[in-house]
């Protein structure tokens, strides 16, 4: 222990000895680690955004539908709103909402478009994208509100506005088309463009009244469940599937497999990106550290001559390298945190809205920094320091005690 | 200028008794500290073999102060390096304090140097980031000496060489002579069996050279420390009790043991 303290002390003083050179080395490590921290926080933010988009885009973590509805969405494949959702206490639930979600056609005096007509209970929709809508005019006042809430993009296409009337054609429970005029209560602006083009909201009870037939009383076509923790998804899906054998239970990964694959890929992207940056840094680090050893050939030879064995010499060189790396990494992580905090409001990507929607994220990309990521990349950086120390250490081990005799 | 040398004598009780014998100038036979038999060293220089040592036989008794003299290329430094376990040899045997160096691996040689041999280099070779005190303590720390004892012994060694007031200065803040005295303190603080000095005064002026040589002489005469120095400086040779002159890798002249 005493020897280790001695070597640590010696390494620390050697680091301080070449202040200028090591300052630039620290700066290079700090900028690389800080830049990687920032870029990885943006990649993590992208992942979180995709996940949130996937979950909040009416899917939820888990969705329950009648068999066959996904292939032929009609009210004939509805189920009763009396269906009760309950999960064990170990699985906290953020919210549950019932909806009718059917394909429909909307027409104004000028245009006609295909849309998804969604009957909602507004008070239950604080778990979906509905809560983030910026509404011009009035929102739906309740499940009995028979007016329509349409997207800004759709309103522009239809050349309609708040207070105007539009016509909706939708298939009823009896298989026959229902045609009804609605007043536009509000026009919503969503974080993404697709809901503005496709979704049309109305009150669930009002829609049930419109579509009522001889079949089910108060039918619904889906129940969406949002959990408090994504990690509980599989267990919750299993419980719900067991409790409701007559319904199809799917989680968001099954319903949006492409998004799920991208979310999984992000973990790998972060690690690859980290190693790309760090491998570039490692070359510079190794070069500088070898130069440092070469510069002190006589001094290290003297240590060998005095009786310091190779193992201790190795430890001393490694301690120096890792010491430099640790200081640089800590500074880099601090720099990264500061940059992430500076970008706390996120990066506005609305200028590229079409493109960013294609990759499943919102137009506001917020960096996300987790303690796990900081620890992982901090730890990996120090490991890189160990790796980088191999080369100067190997060089140091080749130094003969005779080098001390150089004059 | 003279410095009093503290109790920095050899480690073993056998050596201590030998020192007493030396001071009493009795006629008992001394133990050889260094024995070289037929030592050969051949270097390859651009594929041409260079015979640095051509079968050197040398015996150095305990308590001797020996100078290895000779022109450049005579083999004096090569012999010193072989005795110190810093360099190998191609034929023959070298024993130091009874240990056959040819039988030791690199780690064992390091241990031997750490515990039995003190080195004073021409270029001082102090650790620049450590103070004089820390430089002297450094080698004790490698030996695993407890901190309190380490501090006391280093302080005593520095004080004995007139460096008590400079203990907290770093090498860069000391003159060449002071640095060489710190290096000497570092070499003697472990109470080695053998002190090897390679051109210790080459970078010093004549006054500082004399001061250092007086210190070495005192260590030899008062503590009975065995000292071998490679030099081509006649002043150094004048201070030693035995002069070994080397030429072309062989011992050309040896004034012989005075013991």
Provide ipTM, 2 decimals: 0.81
Q: Is A354 part of the contact surface with chain B (CB cutoff 8 Å)?
A: no
CA B11 from centroid of its chain's CA atoms: 15
pLDDT at B25: 42
Whether A405 and B81 lie within 8 Å, measured CB to CB: yes
* Beta-bridge partner residues of B226: B194
How far CA B17 is from CA of A270, A288, B24, B32, B153, in Å, comes to: 71, 53, 10, 14, 22
Q: Are A319 and A13 in contact (CB under 8 A)?
A: no
**Whole-angstrom Cα Rg for chain A:** 31
Q: Is A296 part of the contact surface with chain B (CB cutoff 8 Å)?
A: no
Q: Point out the residue among B81, B119, B198 whose CB comes nearest to the CB of A306.
A: B119
Q: Is B148 part of the contact surface with chain A (CB cutoff 8 Å)?
A: no
pLDDT at A228: 92
For residues A41 and A174, what is the distance between their CA atoms, to the nearest angstrom? 52
pLDDT at B258: 52
Q: Residues B111-149: pLDDT tens digits?
A: 999 999 999 988 888 999 999 999 999 999 999 899 899
User: For residue B157, what are the contacts with CB-CB under 8 A and spacing of at least 6?
Assistant: B6, B8, B136, B185, B186, B188, B189
Residue matched to tokens 């708040």: A162
Backbone phi and psi for residue A74, each to the nearest 5 degrees, phi listed first: -145, 165
Q: Is B232 part of the contact surface with chain A (CB cutoff 8 Å)?
A: no
Q: Are A97 and A223 in contact (CB under 8 A)?
A: yes
Q: Which residues of B touch A310 (CB under 8 A)?
A: 106-107, 110
Whether B110 and A298 lie within 8 Å, measured CB to CB: no
Distance from CA of B176 to the nearest CA of A (A): 14
Q: Are A139 and A158 in contact (CB under 8 A)?
A: no
Q: What angle do CA B204, B210, B213 make, to 5 degrees?
A: 95
pLDDT at A3: 77
Backbone phi and psi for residue A310, each to the nearest 5 degrees, phi listed first: -60, -35
Residue B259 has which token pair? 């013991």
For residues A404 and B110, what is the distance between their CA atoms, to the nearest angstrom? 14
For residues A278 and A272, what is the distance between their CA atoms, to the nearest angstrom? 10
pLDDT at A405: 67
Backbone phi and psi for residue A274, each to the nearest 5 degrees, phi listed first: -60, -45
For residues B249 and B4, what is the distance between their CA atoms, to the nearest angstrom? 37
For residues B121 and A326, what is the distance between their CA atoms, to the nearest angstrom? 35
- The larger pLDDT score, comparing residue B197 to residue B14, is at B197
Buried b (16+ CB within 10 A) or exposed e, A49-63: bbbbbbbbbbbbbbb
Q: With 0.80 as the threshold, say if the pTM is over it.
A: no
The DSSP result for B160-199, as a single string, is HTT-GGGTT--GGGS-HHHHHHHHHHHHHTT--SEEEEES
Backbone phi and psi for residue A111, each to the nearest 5 degrees, phi listed first: -140, 160
- DSSP 8-state assignment for residue B144: T
Strands B91-96 and B194-198: unpaired
The DSSP result for B234-258, as a single string, is HHHHHH-SEEEEEETTEEEEE----
Low pLDDT (below 50) residues in chain A: none
For residues B90 and A346, what is the distance between their CA atoms, to the nearest angstrom? 72
What residues of chain A, 9 to 38, have a C-beta less than 8 Å from chain B? Answer: 10, 13-14, 16-17
Mean confidence (pLDDT) of chain B: 85
For residues B110 and B27, what is the distance between their CA atoms, to the nearest angstrom? 35
Buried b (16+ CB within 10 A) or exposed e, B125-164: bbbebbbbbbbbbbbbbbeebeeeebeebbbbbbbbbbbe
Q: What angle do CA B107, B110, B111 make, to 5 degrees?
A: 90
Q: Are A187 and A145 in contact (CB under 8 A)?
A: no
Residue B33 has which token pair? 């500290």
User: For residue A401, what are the contacts with CB-CB under 8 A and spacing of at least 6?
Assistant: A301, A302, A304, A305, B85, B86, B110, B113
Q: Residues B62-108: pLDDT tens digits?
A: 999 999 999 988 999 999 999 999 998 999 999 999 999 999 998 99
Please report which confidence band the pLDDT of residue B16 belongs to, taking 50, 70 and 90 as the band edges.
Answer: very low
Q: Point out the residue among B107, B119, B147 whose CB comes nearest to the CB of A309.
A: B107
pLDDT at A324: 87
Q: Are B125 and B183 in contact (CB under 8 A)?
A: yes
Q: Which residues of A touch B192 (CB under 8 A)?
A: none
Indicate whether B48 pLDDT > 60: yes
Asked whether the CA dihedral B168, B171, B175, B177 is positive or negative, the reply is positive
Report how far apart the first and last C-alpha atoms of chain B are (Å, whole number): 27
What residues of chain A, 217 to 236, have a C-beta less than 8 Å from chain B? Answer: none
Cα–Cα nearest to B237, from B204, B201, B211, B183: B201
Q: Are B158 and B136 in contact (CB under 8 A)?
A: yes
For residues B137 and B131, what is the distance between their CA atoms, to the nearest angstrom? 10
For residues A74 and A218, what is the distance between their CA atoms, to the nearest angstrom? 15
pLDDT at A25: 87
Q: Point out the residue among A13, A17, A306 whose CB comes nearest to the CB of B113.
A: A306
Distance from CA of A328 to the nearest CA of B (A): 22
CA B151 from centroid of its chain's CA atoms: 23
Minimal Cα distance from A312: which residue of B? B142
For residues A270 and B247, what is the distance between their CA atoms, to the nearest angstrom? 68
């Amino acid at each position: 222990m005493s020897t280790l303290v001695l070597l640590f002390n010696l390494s620390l003083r050697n680091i301080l000895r070449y202040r200028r050179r090591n300052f630039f080395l620290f700066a290079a490590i700090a900028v690389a680690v800080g830049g990687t921290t920032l870029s990885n926080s943006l990649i993590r933010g992208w992942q979180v955004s995709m996940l949130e988009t996937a979950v909040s885009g009416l899917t939820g973590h888990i969705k329950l539908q009648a068999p066959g509805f996904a292939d032929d969405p009609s009210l004939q494949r509805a189920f009763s709103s009396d269906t009760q959702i309950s999960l064990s206490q170990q699985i906290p639930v953020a919210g549950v909402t019932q909806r009718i979600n059917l394909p429909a056609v909307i027409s104004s005096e000028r245009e006609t478009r295909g849309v998804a007509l969604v009957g909602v209970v507004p008070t239950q929709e604080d778990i979906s994208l509905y809560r983030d809508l910026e509404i011009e005019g009035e929102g739906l006042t309740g499940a009995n509100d028979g007016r329509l809430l349409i997207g800004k993009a759709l309103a522009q296409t239809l050349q309609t506005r708040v207070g105007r009337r539009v016509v909706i054609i939708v298939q009823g429970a009896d298989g026959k088309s229902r045609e009804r005029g609605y007043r536009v209560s509000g026009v919503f602006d969503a974080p993404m463009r697709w809901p503005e083009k496709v979704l049309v909201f109305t009150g669930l009870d009002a829609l049930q009244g419109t579509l009522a037939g001889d079949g089910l009383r108060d039918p619904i076509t889906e129940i969406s469940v949002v959990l408090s923790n994504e990690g509980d998804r599989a267990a919750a899906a299993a419980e719900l599937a067991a409790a409701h054998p007559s319904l199809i239970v799917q989680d968001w990964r099954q319903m949006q497999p492409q998004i799920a694959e991208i979310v999984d890929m992000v973990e790998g992207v972060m690690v690859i990106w980290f190693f790309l940056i760090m491998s570039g840094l490692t070359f510079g680090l190794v070069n500088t550290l070898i130069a440092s050893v070469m510069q002190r050939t006589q001094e290290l030879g003297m240590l060998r001559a005095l009786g310091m064995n190779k193992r201790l010499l190795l430890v001393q060189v490694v301690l120096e390298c890792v010491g430099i790396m640790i200081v640089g990494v800590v500074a880099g992580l601090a720099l990264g945190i500061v940059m992430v905090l500076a970008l706390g409001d996120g990066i506005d990507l609305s200028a590229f809205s079409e493109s960013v929607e294609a990759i499943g994220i919102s137009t506001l990309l917020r960096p996300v920094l987790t303690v796990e990521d900081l620890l992982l990349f901090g730890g990996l950086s120090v490991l890189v320091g160990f790796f980088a120390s191999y080369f100067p250490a190997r060089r140091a081990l080749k130094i003969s005690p005779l080098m001390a005799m150089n004059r | 200028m003279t410095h009093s040398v503290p109790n920095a004598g050899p480690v073993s009780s056998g050596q201590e008794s030998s020192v007493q014998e030396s001071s009493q100038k009795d006629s008992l036979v001394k133990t050889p500290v260094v024995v070289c038999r037929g030592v050969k060293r051949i270097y390859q220089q651009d594929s041409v073999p260079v015979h640095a040592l051509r079968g050197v036989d040398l015996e150095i008794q305990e308590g001797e102060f020996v100078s290895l003299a000779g022109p450049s290329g005579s083999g004096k430094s090569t012999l010193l390096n072989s005795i110190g376990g810093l360099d190998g040899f191609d034929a023959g045997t070298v024993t130091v304090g009874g240990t056959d160096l040819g039988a030791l691996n690199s780690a064992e040689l390091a241990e031997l140097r750490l515990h039995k041999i003190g080195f004073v280099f021409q270029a001082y070779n102090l650790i620049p980031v450590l103070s004089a005190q820390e430089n002297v303590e450094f080698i004790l720390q490698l030996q695993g000496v407890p901190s309190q004892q380490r501090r006391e012994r280093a302080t005593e060694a520095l004080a004995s060489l007139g460096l008590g007031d400079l203990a907290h200065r770093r090498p860069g803040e000391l003159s060449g002579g002071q640095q060489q005295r710190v290096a000497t303190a570092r070499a003697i603080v472990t109470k080695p069996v053998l002190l090897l000095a390679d051109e210790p005064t080459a970078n010093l002026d004549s006054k500082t050279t004399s001061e250092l040589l007086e210190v070495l002489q005192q260590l030899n005469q008062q503590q009975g420390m065995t000292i071998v120095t490679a030099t081509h400086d006649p002043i150094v040779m004048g201070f030693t009790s035995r002069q070994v002159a080397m030429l072309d890798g062989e011992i050309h002249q040896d004034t012989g043991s005075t013991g």
